[in-house]
Structure 1
Amino acid sequence: MAEQPQPGAGEKRGNHRGEGRRRAILNALHDCIIEQGYARTTLADIARKAGMSPSHLLYYFDGKDAILSDYFQRVGNRIVARMQSFLSEPPSRQIELLSDLFFAGKGITRFEIGFMLECFGVAVHDTRLHGEKAELDRACKACLRELFRAAPSRERARDCAEIGYALLIGLRTAAFFDRELGPLKARELFRNEMYSLAGLAPDGSDACTAAGN
């Protein structure tokens, strides 16, 4: 079989430039959303922030929704990667790490939480983003199932994962809008309910054993 040609130095530099410009466009979307929200942001706004014309931007993305989709995938992939990195830990430690990740700003910024929530709203009517949101949900719940399979509640792992994910999304959303709740109180509620679902006492021991003692 003939050896496949390797890209030349010029092609490699072009690829690096292309990725750099894509990042500039994603950063521009980030800034526009902070300033005026996604709904009010136009393609021209993003292009201006990225330092290029709208026609030049369209060389890298099909449109505004495609930029949002790419950004959503990148943030979502990072969230899932962090959750997967916790799976080697005991269930109690995983609960603490998840609580910190989503409610204490240890790995996900408040902006990224807000961005993801805004994407969830867009995904209701956007077919492509709807599919990506569903894939993110599946990946996150798969991580939670593994957590519960390693806990005393292992026989109910699938149901516990569904409930745990609903708690995560619900409390994280509420904490974003409700100042009286806030992320720290939401973290406490999430943490306590996750321990309960897992059948664990807050010190990580089996809740039934702890109750018997």
Structure 2
Amino acid sequence: MSITEKRHTDPERAQSRRRQVLDAAATCFSRSGFHGASMAEISKAAGMSAGHIYNYFDGKDAIIAAFVEEEVERVALLLRDLEQKDDPLQAIVDESDNSVDEHMAPEFWKLKLEIFAEASRNPKVAAVLVDADRRMRTQFRAIVKAGRERHGLDADDVTIDGRLEATVALFQGLALRALHYPELDKAALKRAYRVGLSALLLS
């Protein structure tokens, strides 16, 4: 039986091996950058041969695609949980302190910024990010629209799209603030963040 055949007949082992590679790649990309980290470096960190890694990923672009898909799945779970709240939009505001802490933690944004940088020069990676954003945005848009309708607020397409994009930009911008201004007053930021989210979602 070939390695490929074994991989298909033992999905748990394959998933464990994929996780091993992704964890190693995350460490290498964060330390050396996407181009600085070679497949040889990743294989060493993963404790397996480079040839073995290629049984699971065609190359570094495929590894990035796997990271992006994991993020889509993570956000989808968060949004499904949000949908179960009595008032999803108010819940976003109420939980914003935790969102700020999460998005500004280096372990959260270091790899993301490396992927964003690669997307700026690699059309394949950019296409993966665009597709992922479309799927996450579609799910989030439905929550925002339903929430605003429930509150009796404007919920036409122009209003929803504008509020949605501004809200997403607030979240995505936190990583850059953490990078550019690490000593910022996070307590003051959280207070202002709640004001901004309330204005975008609940007014």
Which bracket does the TM-score occupy, shorter chain normalised? 0.7 to 0.9
How far 1:29 sits from its partner (Å)? 0.7
> How far apart in 2 are the matches of 1:132 and 1:182?
35
What is the distance in 2 between the residues matched to 1:93 and 1:182? 23
Distance 1:68 1:134 in 2: 13
2:165 alignment counterpart: 162
Q: Structure 2 counterpart of 1:48, which letter?
A: K
Post-superposition shift, 1:126? 2.1
C-alpha displacement of 1:182: 5.8
Query: 2: distance between equivalents of 1:114 and 1:17?
Result: 28
Question: What is aligned with 1:47?
Answer: 43
Q: Which moved more, 1:49-58 or 1:119-128?
A: 119-128
Instruction: Return the TM-score normalized by structure 2.
Output: 0.78
State the 1:76 CA deviation.
3.0
CA-based RMSD? 2.6
Q: Give me the whole-angstrom Cα distance separating, in 2, the residues matched to 1:21 and 1:102.
A: 31
Higher helix share goes to which structure?
A: 2
DSSP-derived class of the 1:19 partner: helix
- Is the 8 Å Cα contact of residues 153 and 197 (structure 1) preserved in structure 2? no
d(CA) in 1 for partners of 2:33 and 2:144?
A: 35
Q: Assess, with a 3 A threshold, how the Cα gap between structure 1 residues 171 and 50 changes in structure 2: closer, same or farther.
A: closer
Which residue of 101, 105, 116 maps to 1:104? 101
Q: Return the letter of the residue paired with 2:155.
A: R
Report if aligned partners of 1:176, 1:183 keep a CA contact under 8 Å in 2: no
* SS at 1:52 equivalent: coil
Match of 1:93 among 63, 85, 91: 91
| Matching residue of 2:3 | none
Larger Rg: 1
Q: TM-score, normalised by structure 1?
A: 0.75
Q: CA deviation at 1:199?
A: 3.5
The range that moved more, 41-50 or 120-129, is: 120-129
* 2:118 counterpart of 1:134: no
Structure 1 contact 168–190 (Cα < 8 Å) conserved: no
The yes-or-no answer on 1:192 pairing with 2:188 is no
Q: Deviations over 1:42-75 (max 9, x none)?
A: 1000001111111121111111221122122112
Deviation at 1:140, TM superposition (A): 3.7
Is the CA contact 2:39–2:50 (under 8 Å) kept in the aligned structure 1?
Answer: yes
Which range is displaced more, 138-147 or 20-29? Answer: 138-147
CA distance in 2, matches of 1:172, 1:145: 25
Q: Measured at CA, do residues 94 and 67 of structure 1 come closer, stay the same or move farther in structure 2, by a change above 3 Å? A: same
Q: Secondary structure at the match of 1:165?
A: helix
Q: Which amino acid aligns with 2:92?
A: Q
Query: 5+ residue gaps in structure 1?
Result: 1-9, 201-213
The CA distance in 1 between the partners of 2:170 and 2:200, in whole Å, is 11
Quick check: 82-91 or 23-32, which moved more? Answer: 82-91
Q: Is the 8 A contact 1:160 1:197 kept in 2?
A: yes
2:179 to 154, 160, 176: 176
How many residue pairs end up in the alignment? Answer: 189
Offset of 1:122 from its aligned partner?
Answer: 0.9
